[in-house]
Chain A
Amino acid sequence: MNECLLALFGGLAGSAHCVGMCGGLVVSLGVRGQEMAALRRQLIYAAGRVFTYSFAGLAAGYAGLRFGSELDTWPAGRAVLQLVGGLALIVVGLELLGLLPWRAKGDAGCLGPALFEGLRGSARGVFFAGMINGLLPCGLVYAWLAVAFSTASLLRGAAVMACFGVGTIPALAALGAGARWLPCSARHTLARVGGWIVVGSGVALVATAAYGFVVTPVDCPLCGPHGVG
């Protein structure tokens, strides 16, 4: 379950990024003044988001499972998945930090905003609006989906993404409910910390994969089994 803890912290630390990208959406949910009502609404919204993340995590886990079963002939199949997930995390982390020469282009499509606009108005719609928010393209989400993929398990994949989603709730819900957010400089620092945590998680995962390769006698698919008599 250590991926889940990692994802929870990743979500918490990634909040600065979330506030930048999705802050406008949560603020637009409205309900000024009554803080409790606003908070309740934000939590329902967040539940919708976490639902989508969990579903995506489950699907990623399923994909990992199917992909892993293709790799069954490799003793270190699981380590391969972790390697893929870890590298993806590192790439996304570096991208968040602005250390890559290219910038990912986010295109929210044209239906997402329309759906979101139509749904955010009421308590009934707000859960679905959160669901749609969860579908918006986001580097952080993709990074943790890679981890969910590497679990090669439906439940664990879903759990990783749910934990990530829960981790993002405090900052976003508080912002939406009217809390004053940190000053700009602090936010900037936090965003960098979040980026490094993603990179660190990636490195940890790659290290786990490397360990997996070491303890499992790896049969090279080209040159056949070696060693271990």
Chain B
Amino acid sequence: MTRGCDFCGLALPPSYWGRPGEDAGPAYCCFGCRFAHAVAQERSDRAGPSLVLARLGLAIFFAMNVMAFTMTLWSGDVYGSEPGAAAPLLHGIFRWLCMLFALPVLILLAGPLAANAFDALRQGRPNIDLLLLPGVLASYLWSVVSVVRDDGPIFFEVGVVVLVFVTLGRWLEATGKAKASAALDGLRKLLPETAHVVRDGAESAVPLAEVRPGDRLRVRAGERIPCDGRVVAAWAAVDEQLLTGESAPQAKQPGDAVIGGTLALDGDLVIDATAAPDGGHLGRLIALVRAAGLTQGRYQKLADRVAGRFLPLVALLAIAATAYHGWRGGVPAGLTAGLSVVVIACPCALGVATPLAAWVAVGRLARLGVLVRTSAALERLADVRAVMFDKTGTLTVGESAVTELIIDPAQDRDEVLNAASVLAGASGHPMARAVARFCPAQCVTAVVGMKTVPGRGVIDESAGRMLGSPAWLTASGMHWPSGLTNALHRAEQTGQSVTAIAWGGTVRGLFVLSERLRPGLSDALTRLNEMKLSAVVLTGDTVYRARAIGSELGVEVRGGLLPEDKVRLLDEYRARIGAVAMVGDGLTDAPALAQADVGIALGCGADVARESAAVCLLGDELALVPETIAIARQTVKVMRRNLVWAFGYNVVGLAWACSGTLSPVVAAVAMVVSSAFVIAGSLRLAGGSLVAASSAPAEVVSPAA
């Protein structure tokens, strides 16, 4: 990874000849960042006026005067109608005044610009200012000579306006980049600004940065916990939804761990900090989001490739335009044409066209509780045509429960329950857990030699006992007593899940399970449908059950699938419809998530480092799936628009400037407008819900007042 700019954090352009070790000093991606950094530093160093800005203010003052005198010279309005000798005298005086007011602007603004250009040159990153400066200097020099000789045209206003607008424009860009960068760190806002530290029995408010591991902190009801820690006194319900996805408030008592950034709801807590505020769970999350922002998507790679060839191209064009127009129309015409080429060229619009949009979107998604691991994933998400849901653990709420136990009349009920609880205890599958909960706990005895067969069930090989799907038991040669077969058919026809237990060649009992579908699921599916995305639910349940779910939800449900079937089906859909996103819990369906164009894992808040999917929902709010896709689509739209604008603007602008009919003054204004367009478009991504949804949890970010 290349080094980031010291102000905005954007990756620096590659160094052509600077040696890595020489990068010790501050490095900025552009003059604007250097300028903005100076302003920001001054502000933090001391309260009071900014000298850097005062220089800019003074330069603007002089520039306005130069423009006023220039307009007077152009129009001849003030003295033109005066007959006699006064007119030439006044004309000469105004020329001198122009020069007098223009020179300070050169000193005030060209100095810092030159310093930045030479620093960049030393670090091996030549930039466009290296072309700008000679142009401005030459226009000044020519005008000064004209004034002194009292002959020939002057164009101080060109240099003055270019300097002022370039400074303003670069500063504007840097401000926009810093804003986008701040959006990337939006999760940091979950932390309070100060923490109440208890030392020697006395409590004092200290800035968050001074909190160290081991400090004892008090957190009042309604406040956010400043860092990871362990409760030492008192108790409170803590809202951890944003970071762990756990929607119900968690009761915390002495000895419990708490996470920085979570909200103490109803009581005061005293905690011992176990990590610094920037470390810990939230710190890791912020670092992941930032890392995602710094990765390059395909659009950015494209922009970078072009930007790399941009500078030499502009240099060639500028020299050619200067030479041609200088030869045709004299030195002033050549100088203004060359300067126009350099000023209108806006590599910045190219440079910030995509990363800014990606940053703002990634930051916004993080605040919604969606972690996108790379910019490329965001771009792929926008291309998705179908969304597949893995049913188990994704569409059903919590865990299913056993509603009925059907036993072969010849069988002892307690024996079946005992055997089932032993087998179920060995598996983490939701159905096995439901069986385990159903069975009385006291009869469990530890057994070795258990084996889980993915997608099928559990087998105790020593005793030859099996718990799992009826199909598997049949395939294993188990005999079905007629009573159980009828019950099985009944259950399957109503679409209920069944798990069966068997040993000694005979099926002994059936557990009929029912599950509740997640609330908000049908809304999410409707919205996906509105977005013209095909939604498909994949499940390992029987075809009957799949049909029942399908008719309940109104979507296509494919049942009776083993993990490898899911992967095969995914490929089939991709070939038929297009890019596919797979939504799952990231545990049982890891292969399918990895195989999909974009894997979306639910409920990974507790374990964000899990690398199972490109997109992780910290919670399990399904409404975020369409919202995330909508934001991704919007982001890619903005990226494309920015790129088209940046390319189009540069091509048209450069062509116009090369023709020699574009005034550098107009070019300077156009350059600022172009940057502002790109930046404003990207920053707008930060606001508002894109999907008209009432249930989208956009409010969860608002820190407690």
Contacts and interface: CB of A to CB of B under 8 A. Distances in A.
Interface in B65-111: 67-68, 71-72, 74-75, 77-78
B352 to A, nearest CB: 15
A41 to B, nearest CB: 12
A115 B53 CA distance: 7
A59 interface: yes
Contacts of B47: 121
B75 A65 contact: yes
Contact of A58 (B39, B60, B61, B71): B71
A153 interface: yes
Contact of B49 (A114, A121, A132): A121
Contacts of A125: 49-50, 53-54, 57
A199 to B, nearest CB: 30
Interface string B39-63: 1000100011110111011101100
A62 B157 CA distance: 15
A188 interface: no
Contact of A124 (B54, B67, B75, B77): B54
Contacts of B54: 119, 122, 124-125, 128
A154 B48 contact: no
B238 to A, nearest CB: 38
B71 A119 contact: no
A118 B50 contact: yes
Contacts of A127: 57, 61
A131 interface: yes
A16 to B, nearest CB: 28
Given A111-B171, A154-B72, A155-B78, A122 B48 contact: yes
Interface residue range, chain B: 20 to 34
A111 B50 contact: no
B64 A118 contact: no
Nearest to A158: B68
Given A58-B68, A128-B54, A65 B77 contact: yes
Interface string B274-292: 0000000000000000000
A129 B57 CA distance: 8
B405 interface: no
A132 B57 CA distance: 8
Contact of A110 (B39, B56, B78, B175): B175
Nearest to B683: A110
Given A51-B64, A119-B54, A125-B54, A62 B39 contact: no
Interface string B165-176: 000100110011
B71 A120 contact: no
Nearest to B52: A118
B168 A111 contact: yes
Nearest to B672: A111
Given A62-B75, A65-B75, A115 B68 contact: no
A155 B77 CA distance: 8
Nearest to B55: A128
Given A58-B68, A132-B57, A119 B50 contact: yes
Interface of B is mostly: helix
Nearest to B171: A111
Contacts of A158: 68
Given A128-B54, A154-B78, A155-B78, A122 B71 contact: no
Nearest to A156: B77
Contact of B60 (A59, A62, A131, A155): A131
By secondary structure, the A interface counts as helix
Contact of B75 (A66, A110, A114, A121): A66
Contacts of A111: 168, 171-172, 175
B703 to A, nearest CB: 24
Interface string B258-274: 00000000000000000
B356 to A, nearest CB: 14
A124 B78 contact: no
Given A65-B77, A114-B175, A131 B61 contact: yes
A155 B76 CA distance: 11
A51 B49 contact: no
Given A59-B71, A119-B53, A51 B61 contact: yes
B522 to A, nearest CB: 40
Interface string A188-205: 000000000000000000
Contact of A154 (B39, B49, B53, B77): B77
B57 A115 contact: yes
A129 B60 CA distance: 11
Given A111-B168, A131-B57, A118 B77 contact: no
Nearest to B72: A154
Given A52-B64, A58-B68, A118-B49, A153 B57 contact: no
A115 B71 contact: no
Contacts of A51: 61, 64
Contacts of A66: 75
B64 A122 contact: no
Contact of A55 (B39, B49, B64, B176): B64
A59 B57 contact: no
A177 B53 CA distance: 25
A142 B663 CA distance: 26
B72 A122 contact: no
18 contacts: A59-B67, A59-B68, A65-B75, A111-B171, A111-B175, A114-B39, A115-B56, A118-B50, A122-B48, A122-B54, A124-B49, A125-B50, A127-B57, A128-B53, A131-B57, A131-B61, A153-B77, A154-B71
Given A51-B61, A58-B68, 16 more contacts: A51-B64, A52-B64, A55-B64, A61-B77, A62-B75, A65-B77, A114-B175, A115-B57, A118-B53, A119-B50, A122-B48, A122-B54, A124-B54, A127-B57, A131-B61, A153-B77
Interface of B: 39, 43, 47-50, 52-54, 56-58, 60-61, 64, 67-68, 71-72, 74-75, 77-78, 168, 171-172, 175-176
Give 6 nearest A-B pairs by CB, closest first. A128-B57, A121-B49, A118-B53, A118-B50, A122-B49, A125-B49
